Amino acid sequence: MTDLLLRFARDRAALLAACVLAGLALAAASAQLLWPLDPEGVGGPPLLRPLVDPAHPLGTDRLGRDVLARLLHGARLSLTVAFAAALAASVLGSAVGLAAGLAGGRLDELLMRITDAFQTVPGFLLALAFVSVFGPDARSVVLAIAASAWTGPARLVRAEIASLAGRDFVLAAIVAGLPRREIALRVLLPNALPPVVAYAATSVASAVLIESALSFLGLADPNRASWGAMIAEGRAVLVSEPWLSILPGLALLLTVLAVNLVGEGLNEALAPRRARP
Amino acid sequence: MRVVPLLELRDFAVSLPAEPAPVRALRGLDLELLPGERLALVGESGSGKSTALLAIAGLLPDEAEITGGRRFPALGREPMPGRDLGLVLQDPFASLDPVLSVGEQIGEVLVAHRGARWAEARRAAVVLLGRVGIAEPEARVDDPPHRFSGGQRQRIAIAMAIAAGPRLLLADEPTSALDTVVQAQILDLLDGLVREQGTALLLVTHDLAVAGRIADRIAVLYAGRLVECGPAALLLRHPRHPYTRALLAIARALEAGTGGPLAAIPGTPPEPGAEPPGCAFAPRCPLAFARCAAEPPAWRGHARDGVACHRADP
ipTM: 0.82
Reported as a single tens digit per residue, the pLDDT across A9-52 is: 888 888 999 999 999 999 888 888 888 888 888 888 888 888 88
- For residues A187 and A169, what is the distance between their CA atoms, to the nearest angstrom? 9
Mean pLDDT of B274-293: 85
Residue A220 carries which side chain, given as an amino acid letter? Answer: A
| Cβ of residue A105 closer than 8 Å to a chain B Cβ | no
How close are the terminal C-alpha atoms of chain B, in Å?
Answer: 25
pLDDT at A276: 43
Write the CB contacts of B57 (distance below 8 Å, at least 6 apart in sequence).
A175, B81, B85, B87, B170
pLDDT at A1: 64
- For residues B226 and B209, what is the distance between their CA atoms, to the nearest angstrom? 19
- For residues A171 and A35, what is the distance between their CA atoms, to the nearest angstrom? 57
Domain B7-84+166-307 in CATH 3.90.700.10? The answer is no
> What residue ranges in chain B does DSSP mark as E strands?
7-16, 23-33, 38-42, 65-71, 85-88, 168-172, 200-205, 217-222, 225-231, 300-302, 305-307
The confidence band for A115, taking pLDDT boundaries of 50, 70 and 90, is very high
Q: What global pTM score does this model have?
A: 0.80
Range of the domain at A67: 2-275
CB contact under 8 A, B82 and A171: no
Cis peptide bond N-terminal to A36, omega within 30: no
Q: Which range has the worst mean pLDDT, A109-118, A160-169, A261-270? A: A261-270
pLDDT at B295: 87
Percent of chain B with pLDDT over 70: 96
Query: What CA–CA distances, in Å, run from B69 to A37, A57, A151, B8, B28?
Result: 83, 86, 47, 7, 10
Residue B175 DSSP label: T
Mean pLDDT of A255-260: 91
Task: Answer yes or no: is pLDDT of B223 > 80.
Answer: yes
More confident residue, A121 or A268: A121
More confident residue, A74 or B256: A74
pLDDT at A275: 43
- For residues B247 and B244, what is the distance between their CA atoms, to the nearest angstrom? 5
Reported as a single tens digit per residue, the pLDDT across B131-176 is: 999 999 999 999 999 999 999 999 999 999 999 999 999 999 998 8
Task: Answer yes or no: is pLDDT of B106 > 90.
Answer: yes
| Cβ of residue A277 closer than 8 Å to a chain B Cβ | yes
CB contact under 8 A, A172 and B95: yes
**What DSSP line would sit under B52-111, residue for residue?**
HHHHHHT-S-TT-EEEEEEE-TTTTSPPPBTTTEEEE-S-TTTSS-SSS-HHHHHHHHHH
| Cβ of residue B85 closer than 8 Å to a chain A Cβ | yes
pLDDT at B124: 93
Task: Answer yes or no: is pLDDT of B49 > 70.
Answer: yes
CB contact under 8 A, B146 and A276: yes
The confidence band for B228, taking pLDDT boundaries of 50, 70 and 90, is very high
Q: Are the C-beta atoms of B220 and B22 separated by less than 8 Å?
A: no
What are the residue boundaries of the structural domains of chain B, listed by start?
A: 7-84+166-307, 89-165
Q: Are the C-beta atoms of B215 and B39 separated by less than 8 Å?
A: yes
Mean pLDDT of A185-211: 88
Residue B242 carries which side chain, given as an amino acid letter? Answer: P
Q: Domain count of chain A? A: 1
For residue A77, give the CATH number of its domain: 1.10.3720.10
Reported as a single tens digit per residue, the pLDDT across B192-220 is: 999 988 899 999 998 898 899 899 999 99
- For residues A275 and B93, what is the distance between their CA atoms, to the nearest angstrom? 12
Q: Which range has the worst mean pLDDT, A138-147, A186-195, B15-24, B272-281? A: B272-281
CB contact under 8 A, A171 and B89: yes
Burial of A49 (0-12, 13-18, 19+ CB in 10 A): middle
CB contact under 8 A, A169 and B94: yes
- For residues B238 and B222, what is the distance between their CA atoms, to the nearest angstrom? 18
| Cβ of residue A54 closer than 8 Å to a chain B Cβ | no
By 3-state DSSP, what share of chain B in percent is helix, strand and coil, each rounded to 5?
A: 35, 20, 45
pLDDT at B261: 59
pLDDT at B260: 56
Task: Answer yes or no: is pLDDT of B1 > 80.
Answer: no
Residue B45 carries which side chain, given as an amino acid letter? Answer: S
**Cβ contacts of B96 on chain A, cutoff 8 Å:** 169, 172
**Cβ contacts of B97 on chain A, cutoff 8 Å:** 169, 172-173, 187, 191
Closest CA relative to residue B128, chosen from B160, B101, B96, B150: B160
The residue among A175, A188, A274 with the most chain B CBs within 10 A of its CB, best to mutate, is: A175
Q: Are the C-beta atoms of A139 and A77 separated by less than 8 Å?
A: no
Total beta-carbon pairs less than 8 A apart between chain A and chain B: 81
pLDDT at B259: 54
By Cβ distance, the residue of A168, A178, A273 closest to B95 is: A168
Tell me the three state secondary structure of residue A80: helix
Closest CA relative to residue A149, chosen from A64, A230, A91, A70: A91
| Cβ of residue A169 closer than 8 Å to a chain B Cβ | yes
The confidence band for B230, taking pLDDT boundaries of 50, 70 and 90, is very high
- For residues A26 and A79, what is the distance between their CA atoms, to the nearest angstrom? 11
Tell me the three state secondary structure of residue A251: helix
By Cβ distance, the residue of B93, B94, B109 closest to A176 is: B109
Mean pLDDT of B101-117: 90
